[in-house]
Structure formats: structure tokens, C-alpha cells
Amino acid sequence: MFNSSEIINIPPYSLSRAKKNDLYLKAISELTKLHYNGCAQYRRILDTIKFDLDNARNLEAFPFLPVRLFKEYDLISVGKSEIIKTMTSSGTTGQSVSKIYLDRETAANQTKALVKIASSFLGTKRLPMLVIDTKSVVKDRNLFSARGAGILGFSMLGYDITYALDDQMNLDMETISSFLEKHNGTSILLFGFTFMIWKHFRMSLDKMKKINIDNGIMIHGGGWKKLYDQSIDNGVFRNAIAEVCGIKKVYNYYGMVEQTGSIFMECEYGHLHASIFSDVIIRDHRNFESLGVGKEGLIQLISILPASYPGHLILSEDLGELLGEDDCPCGRMGKYFRVHGRIQNAEIRGCSDTYASGSK
């Protein structure tokens, strides 16, 4: 049986296309078998579409699950007694949220992968960490939101974890000033949810005296929809952060709670990269055919980490564009891509309809 922990010690951006394809055909094939045998709902889907695993010759041939299925059903591939943690997506008020169920092995591998990926950008030395959020978001260690999961995951890279917002979501300048004074002259890691950094950090600092964190490294992810609606893109975000606090090193990442750990980090050229723990396929939203470089379509996310739930092949509702593979100027191997935002009035059919009919 394929074990994702076997590749933890391989540099995360070191496999060429041919070597990664060989690895992924084996890994995804075995994960598909695992979830077919362990999750009744997943088995119904594959039986209904008459998927023949023995005839799957490439990654594009494996069936994916639309991400919204995780909002509608409890998809679990292990016994409920083995679940140690439940993750939820960051839905707005009134929206249903995804629930992702983790056993000990999956949770451990997701954390290891996240640390491995982020360390390749930040280095292995732990840094004092300022979280642009409130401490209350991580109080329940058994039920995590996407925000809480991100904070806990990236906290493995830091020390002296300090929260920049109070419980009323106001910027705690006294705590921030004390933290910065304590770590004066040291590189500092700042982490947060993109929209929250904009609303509660950048906007607040814009109304008061600017602060100097030019020794800071900021990592942020998620929450772009509201910013896109305000015509705020990645470039505007970077410039605004530099203006209010002097931070020049700002890294965006793309990921989903449905595939925690196998995130896609942004390199110095502004490209999002798939590591050895993940891959992407861009699909035409009309017929779900895979698309080549330079064509916009729905982003399918692939991860070799989920063993406790069938989240290894997920179709997102985000639009993106494949930019290349193994040839980014940054030198990292693997596919790299760009996200263009959420599909308008998303109606992702295919497996959603199949599931509905197959589960009756």
C-alpha cells in the first residue's frame, strides 16, 4: 500500500514530470481503492458512473468529487472511532460548510507536508510569529475552521506565537508593539487569512501611525473573493502591505480545507506551485475535459494525503490557468498556475448529479 509518509523527506519541488506521474498513478490508484472500499457514498458514485480502475491510464481519467459534496454529506473512509479531528470550511453566515474528518495518520501527514512546503520558502529556522487573527479561533482543538487549521499548521514554523487582534477583532497595538520591540532585528513571520489581513490589519494601520516591520515575512491565503469584488488583486495587496508596515516579502498561498496541508505556495515570480504532495488539472467547465497551458478552466486539486476521507481528487469552483510545468524561472519543478477567481453562479454538475441519483 502506498504511504505518503514515504516521500516526506524528498525535497517538495524536486520531481520531474515523468517521475511524479509514476508516483501519482500508483498513489491515486491505491487511494481510490481505499476510499471505494471504505466509504459507501464514494463507492455508489464510482459504481454509478461505471468507473473501471484497472483501465485508468492517467490522472485525468480518475473521477473527481465536486467540492460542494463535502458540504452536503459526511464522507468518511474509516471508522468513526478513528476520527480525532473535524475540519470545517470558512462559510459565511447562513451557508453550509464542508466537514472534513481526519484520523491520526492523515492529520499527521497533512501537518508534515505543510511544514515541508513552507520551510522550503522560509527556511528551517523557526521565527517569532505574529498571527493576524484572534486567539479564540483556535480554542477548540477537536473542531477547526479553515482559519484555525491554517494558524495551527503554520504555528509549527514559529515560536512566541502572538495574536494581533483582540476578541472584538480590533488591532491590539500594545501587544504588537511589545512583540516587535522584543524581536527587534530578528526576522518575523506574519500569518493570516487574506481578507482579514486587509480589513483588520492593513485598513487599521492606514488610519493610524504606520509601523515598521521591514524584517517581516508575510504568508497569507484564502478570502480573495471580497477583495476581487473591490478590484484588489495580489499586486495591489502587496503594495498596500509594504506601504503601511514595510514588509516586502509577501507570499500568497492557495489551498482548501478539503485538502489541508497540500497547499500551493506562490514563488517570487508570482506563480502558484504544486509540490510533490499535490497536483492540479485545469478542466473545461462545460465538458470537464482537461486543458493545456494558457487556457482558463475549473481547477481540479489532487492530493496524496487524504486517507480518512475521499478528498484526494476534488473539483473546485475556482477558475485558473496552467502556466507551465518544470520550467518556472524560480527553478522549482512541477506544475505552476494562476487563480482567476470563483466561477460566476457556480453550477458544478457531473458527479454531483451522479451522486444524487446513485445515493437514492
Q: How confident is the model at residue 141 (pLDDT cuts 50, 70, 90)?
A: low
| Residue whose cell numbers read 454509478 | 48
Number of C-alpha atoms within 13 angstroms, CB side, residue 29? Answer: 14
Q: What is the pLDDT of residues 326-356, one digit of tens each?
A: 999 999 999 999 998 888 764 444 444 443 4
Distance CA 42, CA 299 (A): 21
Select from 264, 266, 323 the least CA-distant residue to 296: 323
The DSSP call for residue 348 is -
- Exposure class string for 150-166: b at 16+ Cβ within 10 A, else e: bbbbbbebbeebbbbbe
In a 3-state reduction of DSSP, which class is residue 67?
Answer: coil
Select from 29, 18, 15 the least CA-distant residue to 59: 29
Distance CA 330, CA 351 (A): 37
| Residue whose cell numbers read 468507473 | 51
Distance CA 261, CA 257 (A): 8
Judge contact between 239 and 247, C-beta under 8 A.
no
Q: Which residues lie below 8 Å from residue 34, measured CB to CB, with a gap of 6+?
A: 1, 77, 307
Contacts of the segment 78-86: beta carbons below 8 A, 24+ positions apart:
78/38, 78/103, 78/307, 78/308, 82/308, 83/308, 84/142, 85/141, 85/142, 85/143, 85/144, 86/142, 86/143, 86/144
Distance CA 105, CA 136 (A): 26
Per DSSP, the residues of 171-195 read B-HHHHHHHHHHTTTS-EEEEEEHH
Percent of all residues in the chain with a pLDDT value above 90, rounded to a whole number:
66
Per DSSP, the residues of 278-336 read EEEEEE-TTT--B--TT-EEEEEEEES---SSS-SEEEEEEEEEEEEES--TT---SEE
Looking only at the bridges linking them, the beta strands covering 335-342 and 278-283 are unpaired
What's the fold here for domain 110-254? Rossmann fold (3.40.50)
Q: What are phi and psi of 198, to 5 degrees?
A: -65, -50
Distance CA 72, CA 103 (A): 20
Q: Which residues pair with 320 in a beta bridge?
A: 297, 339
Q: Which residues lie below 8 Å from residue 130, measured CB to CB, with a gap of 6+?
A: 162, 164, 176, 179, 188, 189, 190, 191, 216
Q: Is the pLDDT of residue 7 over 90?
A: no
Sorted by where each begins, the domain ranges of the chain are 4-74+272-358, 110-254
* Superfamily covering domain 4-74+272-358: Luciferase; Domain 3 (2.30.38.10)
Q: Is the pLDDT of residue 128 over 50?
A: yes
Q: What is the pLDDT of residues 239-291, one digit of tens each?
A: 999 999 999 999 999 998 899 889 999 999 999 999 999 999 999 999 999 99
Q: Give the burial class of 133: count Cβ atoms within 10 A of its Cβ; 0-12 exposed, 13-18 middle, 19 or more buried.
A: buried
Q: What is the pLDDT of residues 194-229, one digit of tens each?
A: 988 998 998 888 777 778 898 999 999 887 777 777
Average pLDDT over residues 14-31: 94
| Residue whose cell numbers read 495591489 | 236
| Cα–Cα–Cα angle for 38, 88, 93, rounded to 5 degrees | 140
Judge contact between 12 and 276, C-beta under 8 A.
yes
Q: What is the pLDDT of residues 59-81, one digit of tens each?
A: 999 999 999 999 999 999 999 99
